[in-house]
Chains A and B, each alone.
Chain A
Amino acid sequence: MKYFRLIWKNAWRKKIRTSLTILSVFVAFLLFALLSAIGYAFRGGVDVADAQRLIVIHKVSLINPLPMSYLNRIASVEGVQSVTYASWFGGFYQEPRNQFGQFPVDPQAYVDMYPEFNIPDEQLEAFKRNRTGAIVGQELATTYGWQVGDRIPIQATIWTKADGGRTWEFDLEGIFSSDDPRGSTALLLFQHDYFEETRAFAKGTVGWYILRVASGADPIQVANAIDLQFANSPNETKTSTEAAFAQSFMKQYGNIALIVTMILGAVFFTLLLVSGNTMSQSVRERISELAVLKTLGFSDLSVLGIVLSESILIMLMGGLLGLGLGWVLIQGIAQQMAAFLPGVFLSTTAIAGAVAMMLAAGVLAGIFPALKAMRLSIIDALARA
């Protein structure tokens, strides 16, 4: 890389101009990082979904409950390794805007169904033993500053208690984390038994079932078999893989991916204009120097390469800085947004894509000036000077 000094020095020819161009690139890639991460959240955790897990919901709508009696019937379907359930509690903590997932579950079965959740054994045991116990995900604990031993009151909006009250209180017995940094832990889990005996209505029902397909069994076949079991009954089911379920849910928000792509498109178009302009000015003002390089014996191609390298270098400097800052900010943002938009994450695919774009943008912004440099006639250039 003996040409690096030449490329570097030329890039910084006009310090203000180069700095401002780098800053423009910086902003563009910072935006890219942030928008990718948010767009990722709208994929609904599709990437973390376990291919062997299926979700069973009421066919008419997610909000219709399913009978508890389905538990054993699902378990008996061929290919089903294990099955458990959860329901949507839908309450809030202190203020209506503090909403997050609260699920009444069968503690051991649920934790077994989601092996990516990590919780110390003694905390899990304490949860199992305590009728009014609950465990929360690390994200929630951090957001609200909860610690094991706290008493957490949740205001129910749907589920009034049999005694007419609305406040459900839980003892925090444990905090769980997720193996996968992309997965969300904005969740509060409590005992289904407590839920069942305390709620005023809809007894004997659950919100949905989660099951694990035995290895070797085809998830789609198992899903169809389950739905067939309950076809034409008062409560028909719709079974899909966790990924498909997450995706169909997020798709309801609309084509977020398209919107993000369009915005980034506008940003990059502008970026190319700015850098392209910088590069063409940079080449225009040193035509005679480039001619001299050629007289010294630098080939036409090497002159093209020198100009393109300059353009790519500027893109990389600004881009990597922007990407870096974006990554740092996302760690904080993901935490803040965990409650209402979980899964904000900058994936490695996105990072690789960004770097590829830096290179591509560097080439695109520099190609016309570089070609001009490559093709310049030494004699004419020197004569003009």
Chain B
Amino acid sequence: MRGLNQILAVTWLNLRNLPQRVGSSIVAVIGVAAVVLVFAAVLSMAKGFERTMISAGSEDTAIIMRSGSTSELNSGLSNDQTLIIADAPGVLKDGDATVMSAELYVVVDVKKKSSNTDANVPFRGVQLGAFDVRKNVAVVEGRMFETGKNEIIVGRSAQQEFAGLDTGSKIRFGQSEWDVVGAFEAGGSVSESELWTDVRVLQGAYRRGNSFQSVRVKLQSKDSLDVLETALEEDPRISADVLTEKEYYSGQAEPLSEFIKLIGYPLTILMAIGAVFGALNSMYSSVSVRGKEIATLRALGFGPISILFSTMIESTILALVGGALGGAIAYLAFNGFQVSTLNGASFSQVVFDFAVTGDLLIDGLYAALIIGALGGLFPAIRAARLPVAQALREL
């Protein structure tokens, strides 16, 4: 217990005369803050993107595409095949009708508001069941499009991010003109980055005949997926992959999200190494400034362990302050900031927010803790080993 008291006493002393070592201390704090700031900012992109993608997918909706397709865009299903799916076991029926939406999308050029450059936006043809097979989708402005007409409803995120998509405007893609009759929300998920119209109209406009790319169908229960999958596997008329929508979107999110992490983690580690050097510098300087004081404490009977731990605690506290500062700035500056980027997998834009989540901030604090510990260790050892008599003699 005496050891602990000593440690606390010396630590308190250290912190009290911190103002004398303001320069070095600030440098250490800011160094760590920068690391945590960059870490949180970069990884919040991955988090935000993932969240947008994954929140779109429900576990009781299956998405069916042609076997081997890596995404909807690469897939192709005939009208007959969609009918086969409609009657397969495991699908949820509302009376006689299956709760499903056979869909097809193309990629159209729209200008990004922020940079006024072209962006590829998904233009999806859906059936009326589109609202039932997805979670939380609702028209919030204007009205739903009428089937058979060149009418579009736009996702809220798309409307915010891209130009010319306000309700009531007309937009031209290639040869055809479309009326924007409303906007829909989908819980902030990737669907909100899209433009929707009647699938028949889209097929006509883009010469797709009677073909689709995917079918989304509501499952009777979460466990019905296997039943459906088996049934379709055994049917020779159709060769398809069956996934829950959630699985599908996770897969779609993976490449970009992994890429961001591939850059983000090494970047953070490198910066952290730099911060450790900065912290070491600050702590060595701190120890040398306090030389006489440490020697005096030793002469008074404080053990070397108390000196060691108190130095490490000081370093750790400085680092944690830096970590909290960096995290706070990241949160205030970036959280909720909307951006859009190209998702290679779907070849179209996904609009998402930076998400500075709690676990990112905690990871940041862990990083700060490690930096603080490493940055304090060697100086602490030096402080503990300071030759007392010599230090007292020196001016």
Q: Tell me whether A63 and B278 are in contact (CB under 8 A).
A: no
A60→B109 contact, CB < 8 A: yes
Task: Decide if A59 is an interface residue (CB 8 Å cutoff).
Answer: yes
Say yes or no: A155 contacts B273, CB within 8 Å. no
With contact pairs A27-B274, A266-B38 given, residues A273 and B30 touching in the complex (Cβ less than 8 Å): yes
Question: Does B27 interact with chain A (Cβ within 8 Å)?
Answer: yes
At the interface, is chain A mostly helix, strand, loop or mixed?
helix
A31 with B278: in contact, given A252-B341, A263-B42 (CB under 8 Å)?
A: no
Selecting from B112-120, B188-196, B364-372, the interface stretch reads B112-120
A24-B278 in contact (CB<8A):
yes
Interface residues in chain B, defined as those with a beta carbon under 8 Å from any beta carbon in chain A: 23-24, 26-27, 30-31, 34, 37-38, 41-42, 68-71, 73-74, 106-109, 114-115, 117-120, 173-175, 206-207, 255, 259, 263, 267, 270-271, 273-275, 277-278, 280-282, 284-285, 339-342, 344, 347, 349
* A266-B68 in contact given A63-B106, A252-B120, A280-B23 (Cβ < 8 Å): no
Are B69 and A157 in touch, CB under 8 angstroms? yes
How long is the Cα–Cα vector from A166 to B67 in the complex, in angstroms? 10
Q: Mark A236-275, 1 if CB is under 8 A from B, else 0.
A: 1000000000001001111100010011001101110110
Given known contacts A27-B277, A96-B70, is B27 in contact with A62 (CB within 8 Å)?
A: no
A97 x B263 contact (CB < 8 A): no
Report the separation of the CA atoms of residues A280 and B115 in the bound assembly, to the nearest whole angstrom. Answer: 43
Q: B174, B281, B340: which has the most chain A beta carbons within 10 Å?
A: B281
A232: chain B residues within 8 A (beta carbon) = 175
Q: Is the CB of B108 within 8 A of A61?
A: yes
Contact of B120 among A62, A234, A340 (CB under 8 A): A62
CB within 8 Å for A63 and B115 given contacts A24-B278, A263-B267, A270-B30: no
A29-51 vs B, CB cutoff 8 Å, 1 = contact: the mask equals 01100110010000000000000
Contacts of B267 in A (CB 8 A): 31, 34-35, 263
A20 touches B284 (CB 8 A): yes
What are 30 A-to-B residue pairs whose CB atoms are below 8 Å?
A20-B278, A20-B284, A24-B277, A27-B270, A28-B274, A34-B267, A38-B263, A59-B109, A60-B106, A60-B108, A60-B109, A61-B120, A63-B106, A64-B106, A64-B206, A166-B68, A232-B175, A234-B175, A248-B117, A252-B120, A252-B342, A253-B341, A266-B38, A267-B274, A273-B31, A274-B27, A280-B23, A281-B23, A281-B285, A340-B344
Q: Chain B residue with minimal CB distance to A235?
A: B174
Q: How far is the CA of A72 from the CA of B313 in the complex (A)?
A: 77
The 8 Å CB contact of B274, one of A17, A252, A263, A270, is A270
In the bound complex, do residue A61 and residue B109 qualify as a contact, i.e. CB atoms below 8 Å apart? Answer: yes
Q: In chain B, what residue has the closest Cβ to A18?
A: B281
Which 9 A-B pairs rank lowest in CB-CB distance, beginning with the nearest? A27-B274, A252-B342, A60-B174, A157-B74, A20-B281, A23-B277, A251-B117, A61-B107, A270-B34
A17 to B287, CA, bound (A): 12
Q: Is A109 in contact with chain B by the CB < 8 A criterion?
A: no
**In this complex, what residue of B is CB-closest to A234?**
B175
**Minimal beta-carbon separation of A150 from chain B (angstroms):** 23
**Given known contacts A232-B175, A236-B174, what 20 new A-B pairs fall within 8 Å (CB)?**
A20-B277, A20-B280, A21-B277, A23-B277, A24-B281, A27-B271, A31-B270, A61-B108, A63-B73, A97-B255, A157-B68, A158-B73, A234-B175, A259-B42, A263-B38, A263-B42, A269-B34, A274-B278, A277-B281, A341-B259
A1 within 8 A of B: no
Q: Establish whether residues A158 and B74, one from each chain, have CB atoms under 8 Å apart when the complex forms.
A: yes
Residue of A nearest to B37 (CB): A266
- Cβ of A110 < 8 Å from any Cβ of B? no
- Give the chain B neighbours of A271 by CB distance below 8 A: 274
Contact B175 A274 (CB under 8 A): no
CA distance A14 to B344 in the complex (A): 52
Q: Which of A38, A60, A97, A263 has most B Cβ within 10 Å?
A: A60
Q: Which residues of A contact B284 (CB under 8 A)?
A: 16-17, 20
Q: Which residues of B contact A63 (CB under 8 A)?
A: 73, 106-107, 347
Contacts of B173 in A (CB 8 A): 60
Residues 261-304 of A contacting B (Cβ, < 8 Å): 262-263, 266-267, 269-271, 273-274, 277-278, 280-281
Report the bound CA distance from A97 to B259 in whole Å.
12
Across-interface contacts of A31 in B (CB, < 8 A): 267, 270-271, 274
Q: Which residues of B contact A156 (CB under 8 A)?
A: 68
Nearest CB in chain A: distance from B121 CB, A:
9
Contacts of B275 in A (CB 8 A): 270
- Let me know if B27 and A252 touch, CB within 8 A: no
Q: Does A70 lie at the interface of the complex (its beta carbon under 8 Å from any beta carbon of B)?
A: no
Q: Name B281's closest neighbour in chain A (CB-CB).
A: A20
Q: Are B107 and A267 in contact (CB under 8 A)?
A: no
Contacts of A24 in B (CB 8 A): 274, 277-278, 281
- List, in ascending order, chain B residues with CB within 8 A of A153's CB: none
**Do residues A277 and B68 form an inter-chain contact, with CB atoms below 8 A?**
no
Q: Does A90 contact B (CB under 8 A)?
A: yes
B278 to chain A: closest residue by CB? A274
CB proximity of B284 to chain A, nearest CB, Å: 6
